[in-house]
Amino acid sequence: MHATPKTTGPASPGKLLYAQSGGVTAVINATAAAVIETCRKHKVTVYAARNGILGALREDLIDTTKETPAAIRGLAHTPGGAFGSCRVKLKSLEDDRARYERLIEVFRAHDIRWFLYNGGNDSADTALKLSRLGKAMGYDIRCIGVPKTVDNDLAVTDCCPGFGSVAKYTAVSLRECALDVMSMMDTSTKVFVMEVMGRHAGWIAASAGLAGEGSDDAPHIILFPELEFDPEKFLARVRETVDRVGCCVIAASEGIKYADGKFVADAHAGTDAFGHTQLGGVAPALAGMVRDKLKLKTHWAMPDYLQRSARHIASKTDLDQALAVGKAAVELALAGENAVMPVIARTSDSPYRWKIQTAKLDKIANREKKLPRAFVSKDGFHITAAARKYLSPLIRGEAPPPYDRSGLPEYVTLKNVAVKPKLPVLDV
């Protein structure tokens, strides 16, 4: 299904460092499992950085050789980030040079020759800068970006591991909630709002559109961050839908904005460690608007972390792609590649086929792929056939975790044995 570079084994007796970054996904640990298992086949030792790039800066490293093969296999069906993640963005080489040099010092101290950073745009940028600094400092370090993000907003790649599963969760959850609302709409809730992640890109919001196919199927309204939110137009559509269908089910991106650029959720917003607006609150804001202006009974839901951690309903396609990029990232590193990322290329829609290709990090770092306007209906409230054609294959297939006798999934917890530090402690 995918082609990867040929490897002849490690070019040096060095080690490979793997780190997870940003918001985790239902399948990021599957990528980690693929990285470790591939390295073991090539007899390469894998260290993991505890809590992402912070672990590398603090010299807080984990020796994955202490984990059993069964534990590593179990990562493939365990959500969360097994080694810990973080939201820390390094600045430019000029402004943050001391911390970049510290990373190279840690790499040198532990003979780390390959660095795999599993994350999104900011992580790709960090890996790119490290690859350049390694050359400048005369240290042979090969840096590979590994794609991951539920937002599906990485450039070049057709889709991002993590997105297919959150898309499946979103479509399934909205369909189930809609059936609930429709059961009670005669005497109870008329309008239901489900808030989904997506600060600037509406890929997750669009995936809600897969929940129904007919004009009267939920979701009846989808609100995308790429389009200006017009409250009057929105309320008119809600009123018309309730009059026609009996209820109105809405999927709203957390990042929708008014014409003046202000987030609808601004009243509830803060900022995260990257300086991004930390959203959440669109659903109650919209529900309140409907209740106050249209006098209709409303309910709302904000799945928040549930949508990105729902491993029990992960997409098999997404899992396969998460495993594939992990394997390919190792093979690229061992083949001597640097400042690149394995990406997913779609080769056919029907039947759906894909393969792994290689892209340069400078084509991905700090770039954001928005939902194309052609994927949104002319009225701005739903997805088009083109969007459905793109999205549908990504949620196909089931890959449930094993369950124990108590009825709960058998998720694994690693020992995460620390590597003995060799450098002075650094306060980061």
How many residues make up the chain in this entry?
A: 428
Whether 25 and 148 have beta carbons less than 8 Å apart is answered as yes
Residue 274's pLDDT is 47
Residue 278's pLDDT is 47
Residue 427's pLDDT is 76
DSSP 420: P
- Hey, how many other C-beta atoms are within 10 angstroms of the C-beta on 289? 18
DSSP 66: G
CATH 3.40.50.460 fits 163-308, yes or no: yes
Is beta strand 61-63 parallel, antiparallel or unpaired with respect to 46-49? antiparallel
Residue 11's pLDDT is 45
Tell me the C-alpha distance between 81 and 87, whole Å: 13
Residue 222's pLDDT is 98
Whether 269 and 279 have beta carbons less than 8 Å apart is answered as yes
First to last CA, the chain: 42
Whether 137 and 101 have beta carbons less than 8 Å apart is answered as yes
- Indicate the domain borders of the chain: 163-308
Catalytic residue IDs? 151
Is beta strand 340-349 parallel, antiparallel or unpaired with respect to 352-360? antiparallel
**Positions of the chain with pLDDT lower than 70, given as ranges:** 1-12, 267-280, 428
Whether 369 and 201 have beta carbons less than 8 Å apart is answered as yes
- Hey, how many other C-beta atoms are within 10 angstroms of the C-beta on 230? 13
Residue 168's pLDDT is 98
Whether 312 and 409 have beta carbons less than 8 Å apart is answered as yes
Structure tokens at 273: 């460690």
